[in-house]
Amino acid sequence: MYKTGELIERLSNEHSLSLEEYAFLIKERTPEAATELASLADKKRREVYGTDVYIRGLIEISNYCVNDCLYCGIRRSNKACDRYRLTPEEILLCCKEGYKLGFRTFVMQGGEDPYYTDDLLCELISEVKSQYPDCAVTLSLGERSRESYEMLFKAGADRYLLRHETYDKEHYEKLHPSSMSWDNRMKCLRELRQIGYQVGCGFMVESPFQSEKELAEDLKFIEEFKPDMCGIGPFISHKDTPFKDEPSGGCDLTCYLLSIIRLIYPNILLPSTTALGTIDPMGREKGLKAGANVVMPNLSPVGVRKKYELYDNKICTGEEASECIECLRGRINRAGYKMVTDRGDIKR
Ligand code: SAM
Ligand code: FES
């Protein structure tokens, strides 16, 4: 049988393990292994990024969604969800506020909402890039056609976040209705990369039906695909979804996986997510100490924040952007890192 200590050492030196070895490392997780992984991961992140923590201003542009993912609070079938969408003018105001606060990346995220046509988005992206040429624009708007991705890229979008959710096709089918396709999601990720975007993938930790087997597949995928960014956070149940009674994921396993991902790909951009801060009051600090180097505070207007409720009890829905950034700056400092004003591109 494998020995955990030997696997950790090899992962740290060779940045690769077999599927079986990843699964073993996850199954045999102990507090000692977690401490060892976190310390190696933190060392690697300091070699590449020092103590810098990059910030991304998250603008939740719409909670209308044509999809019906079983885990998600803004799924189409959730009739209790109070829907909203931001106009281009409102989004530009968020960017204005964000720029003043030191953000140099704006992330426009939303449900898959046909209101945001290619023409509307291209015009908006061009406007943001002309007003803020020193900023990066990241999109997280789900699955679109290759032509659409190409148009948005030409208009100036730099990055695209599309979590793969799970690399196991059978598992994917248990988390999504039959109208959604794992093959298409993977195709989108490959196309985004070919077009020239900096690409982010990612998955939920301890989503329903997930075991170490599926997580090992996610890790192997990250090792092979080498995304510029990987967003992981615990699955958190939402009261108005079919998964309302499923247990939520934990902070410890999420941090353990963050450390492993940092060791697989030392240069990767790794956010310590809002979901991690929701499941544990010190979650974001723990994530940073485990190897994460990005945080994504909310820049959406306070009036709509509560409505973008992907899961129950999401934090930071009542605070102004300026309050969150000051709160986070303190948290980051106390954890031993430094928030920087920077586009925060991946270091190659
Ligand atoms: N519509 C876009 C997409 O599909 O990529 C972006 C928005 S989507 C709501 C953003 C991410 O939220 C998803 O990729 C999913 O991983 C995460 N998410 C949704 N519901 C969640 C839940 N209940 N717990 C934790 N994360 C969740
Ligand atoms: Fe939003 Fe602390 S980060 S209140």
Per domain, the residue ranges of the chain are 4-340
Residue among 316, 317, 322 whose CB has most ligand 2 atoms within 8 A, to mutate = 316
Terminal alpha carbon distance of the chain: 36
The model carries a pTM of 0.98
Local structure of residue 232 (DSSP, 8 states) = E
Average pLDDT over residues 2-11: 97
> CA Rg, the chain, in Å?
19
Residue 64 CA, ligand 1 centroid: distance in Å? 13
What Cα–Cα distance (Å) separates residue 175 from each residue in 69, 72, 128, 242, 260? 6, 10, 35, 10, 24
Q: How confident is the model at residue 348 (pLDDT cuts 50, 70, 90)?
A: confident
**Ligand 2 proximity of 327 Cβ (cutoff 6 Å):** yes
State the pLDDT at residue 271: 98
CA 11-13-16 angle, to 5 degrees, is 40
Torsions phi, psi of 88, nearest 5? -55, -35
CA distance 31 to 38: 10
> Listing from the earlier edge strand, what are the strands of the sheet with 159-161?
57-62, 105-110, 136-140, 159-161, 198-205, 229-234
Name the closest ligand to CA 243: 1
Residue 200 bridge partners (DSSP): 161, 229
Work out the mean pLDDT of the chain and round it to a whole number. 98
CA distance 269 to 293: 6
- The DSSP string of 4-36 is HHHHHHHHHHHS---HHHHHHHHHT--HHHHHH
Local structure of residue 291 (DSSP, 8 states) = T
State the pLDDT at residue 1: 83
Average pLDDT over residues 269-293: 98
The CATH architecture of the domain made up of 4-340 is Alpha-Beta Barrel (3.20)
Query: Which ranges in 50-145 belong to alpha helices (H)?
Result: 88-101, 118-131
Name the closest ligand to CA 317: 2
* Residue located nearest, by CA, to atom 2 of ligand 1: 142
**Ligand 2 proximity of 328 Cβ (cutoff 6 Å):** yes
Q: How confident is the model at residue 340 (pLDDT cuts 50, 70, 90)?
A: very high
State the pLDDT at residue 237: 98
Cβ contact 300:60 at 8 Å: yes
* Residue located nearest, by CA, to atom 14 of ligand 1: 163
Ligand 1 atom closest to 310 (CA): 20
Closest alpha carbon to 262 in 12, 10, 22: 12
Cβ contact 57:105 at 8 Å: yes
Residue 206 CA, ligand 1 centroid: distance in Å? 14
State the pLDDT at residue 119: 98
Ligand 2 atom closest to 327 (CA): 2
**Ligand 2 proximity of 90 Cβ (cutoff 6 Å):** no
* Residue located nearest, by CA, to atom 1 of ligand 2: 324
